[in-house]
Amino acid sequence: MSKFRLAFPAILLLSLAGAALAQTDSTLAATPPMGWNSWNHFAGRVDDADVRAAADYMVSSGMKAAGYEYVNIDDTWEGQRDAQGFIHSNSKFPDMKALADYVHSRGLKLGIYSSPGPKTCAGYEGSYGHEQQDAETYAKWGIDYLKYDLCSFIPAVMEKEAPHDKAKQYQLMQAAYTKMHNALVATGRPIVFSLCQYGWDDVWKWGASVGGNLWRTTGDINDTYARMADIGFNQLGLAQYAGPGHWNDPDMLEVGNGGMSFDEYKTHMSLWAILAAPLLAGNDLSKMTPETLSILTNRDVIAVDQDPLGKEGSRAFAVGMTEIWTKPLSDGALAAGLFNRDTEPHPITLNLSDVGFQANATLRDLWTHQDVTATNGSYTVTVPPHGVVMLRISQ
């Protein structure tokens, strides 16, 4: 009895302090989140052992040292609710708290997934009507990141409560995200909040106001050049909405999943870095080729993505099937991606004066890690089909 009398005020004070901290915590996702997510490779097959292996390989491969931090479980971990309404993990994840402890012991963070609807996209238990309980459960387990995926909220709530009224449906959608954000904040644990509603209602305009640290801007990526390029190059126009703590998310990486060539995966990584996109590897980390690892751990490219200025890049020029995208960096340098979207090689020319630099600027190729030389203030390079040359330009 006396134990409870003593403990209660202390717990109250601690959680109040925690809530205040979380609300003012501007360090959460100060740069785009980096890590791994189970969906693109494992989909519904992911289990505890796969997640532990991902954590292990993230450390042993050097990915952690290169900046990867979050180990994120996507859909299909959810079990049943108990009589009090608290969610439990299913038999693939026997002990979520122990898993979080393990991931934390490797110096990494653990992410999880749910839906504001009654069911997730894969038909598992969602958070509808249990938002605060779920947030508390995640905090108790030691979860550091939540991806919150709209899915069944559309038919179960939006279409049901506001049939044919898009404006009202969107209000319900925003309210659902605010509700979970408040629930997460109330736990006092800093938990990155990832909105997944496929870009509906121009989420980039309001995602930050409902507490989102990142928001998916599109439907799902898949492991093809066509889909990756369609998503990536269509991010044009969204740069102004991203910044420290709140990022556009063109979906997780497919690098290493086998559906694209080496050049195409380099394009994927380069474009995502210029977009200041979250870098969430989506491959099986236990079976990486040296090429895959070299792409995922290219520190020069990662530094572009993670630049503390937090400015998303944009397209500067397009000529035929070639495009130059640029991203300003905190030290006054500029990252430039020279992309060839064609199936034939093409020379691409970058005129330094067009991007605000003098003829004697220093150019570094971020894939060969060599300095290259501009001639008479311009640099011309032949870029392979679906390929990229990525440069860092400084005066």
Q: Please state the closest distance from residue 215 (CB atom) to ligand GLA, in A.
A: 12
| Nearest to ligand GLA of 196, 361 (CB atom) | 196
| Nearest to ligand GLA of 145, 325 (CB atom) | 145
| Nearest to ligand GLA of 188, 199 (CB atom) | 199
Beta bridge partners of 315: 325
| Nearest to ligand GLA of 113, 241 (CB atom) | 113
The 58-77 contact track toward ligand GLA, x by CB under 6 A, reads ----------------xx--
The 269-308 contact track toward ligand GLA, x by CB under 6 A, reads ----------------------------------------
Taking CB under 6 A as the binding criterion, the range among 51-59, 120-128, 155-163, 236-244 that sits at the site for ligand GLA is: 120-128
Q: Are 238 and 216 in contact (CB under 8 A)?
A: no
Taking CB under 6 A as the binding criterion, the range among 119-127, 207-215, 310-318, 376-384 that sits at the site for ligand GLA is: 119-127
166-187 and 2-23 helices, crossing angle to 10°:
130
How many Å apart are CA 296 and CA 241, to the nearest integer? 26
How many Å apart are CA 93 and CA 289, to the nearest integer? 28
313-333 burial: b if 16+ Cβ within 10 Å, else e: bbbbbeeeebbbbbbbbeeeb
39 lies in the site for ligand GLA, by CB under 6 A: yes
| Nearest to ligand GLA of 219, 345 (CB atom) | 219
223 lies in the site for ligand GLA, by CB under 6 A: no
Tell which residue, 209, 131, 132, has the closest CA to residue 174: 209
Tokens of 226: 């066509």
318 lies in the site for ligand GLA, by CB under 6 A: no
Q: Are 302 and 366 in contact (CB under 8 A)?
A: no
Q: Please state the closest distance from residue 39 (CB atom) to ligand GLA, in A.
A: 5
Q: Please state the closest distance from residue 219 (CB atom) to ligand GLA, in A.
A: 7
Taking CB under 6 A as the binding criterion, the range among 26-34, 116-124, 186-194, 345-353 that sits at the site for ligand GLA is: 116-124
Among 71, 87, 110, 121, contact with ligand GLA (rule: CB under 6 A): 121
Closest CB to ligand GLA: residue number:
121
Q: Are 137 and 92 in contact (CB under 8 A)?
A: no
Q: Please state the closest distance from residue 121 (CB atom) to ligand GLA, in A.
A: 3
Q: Please state the closest distance from residue 253 (CB atom) to ligand GLA, in A.
A: 12
H helix and E strand count, the chain? 12, 18
Among 19, 22, 98, 122, contact with ligand GLA (rule: CB under 6 A): 122
159 lies in the site for ligand GLA, by CB under 6 A: no
How many Å apart are CA 55 and CA 42, to the nearest integer? 15
Residues binding ligand GLA: number (CB under 6 A): 9
Q: Where are the alpha helices (DSSP H) in the chain?
A: 2-23, 39-42, 48-60, 96-105, 131-141, 153, 159-161, 166-187, 225-233, 262-274, 290-296, 299-305
How many Å apart are CA 342 and CA 73, to the nearest integer? 36
| Nearest to ligand GLA of 39, 170 (CB atom) | 39
220 lies in the site for ligand GLA, by CB under 6 A: yes
| Footprint (CB under 6 A) of ligand GLA, residues 180-219 | 196
Q: Please state the closest distance from residue 74 (CB atom) to ligand GLA, in A.
A: 5
Q: Please state the closest distance from residue 172 (CB atom) to ligand GLA, in A.
A: 19
56-90 burial: b if 16+ Cβ within 10 Å, else e: bbbeebebbebbbbbbbbbbbbbeeeeeeeebebe
How many Å apart are CA 324 and CA 318, to the nearest integer? 6
- The residues assigned a catalytic role are 149, 220
Tell which residue, 123, 121, 125, 112, has the closest CA to residue 194: 112
Q: Please state the closest distance from residue 47 (CB atom) to ligand GLA, in A.
A: 15
Strand pairing class (346-351; 334-340): unpaired
Among 50, 69, 131, 149, contact with ligand GLA (rule: CB under 6 A): 149
First to last CA, the chain: 69
Q: Where are the alpha helices (DSSP H) in 275-321?
A: 290-296, 299-305
Q: Are 355 and 326 in contact (CB under 8 A)?
A: yes
| Nearest to ligand GLA of 46, 301 (CB atom) | 46
Footprint on this chain of ligand GLA (rule: CB under 6 A): 39, 74-75, 120-122, 149, 196, 220
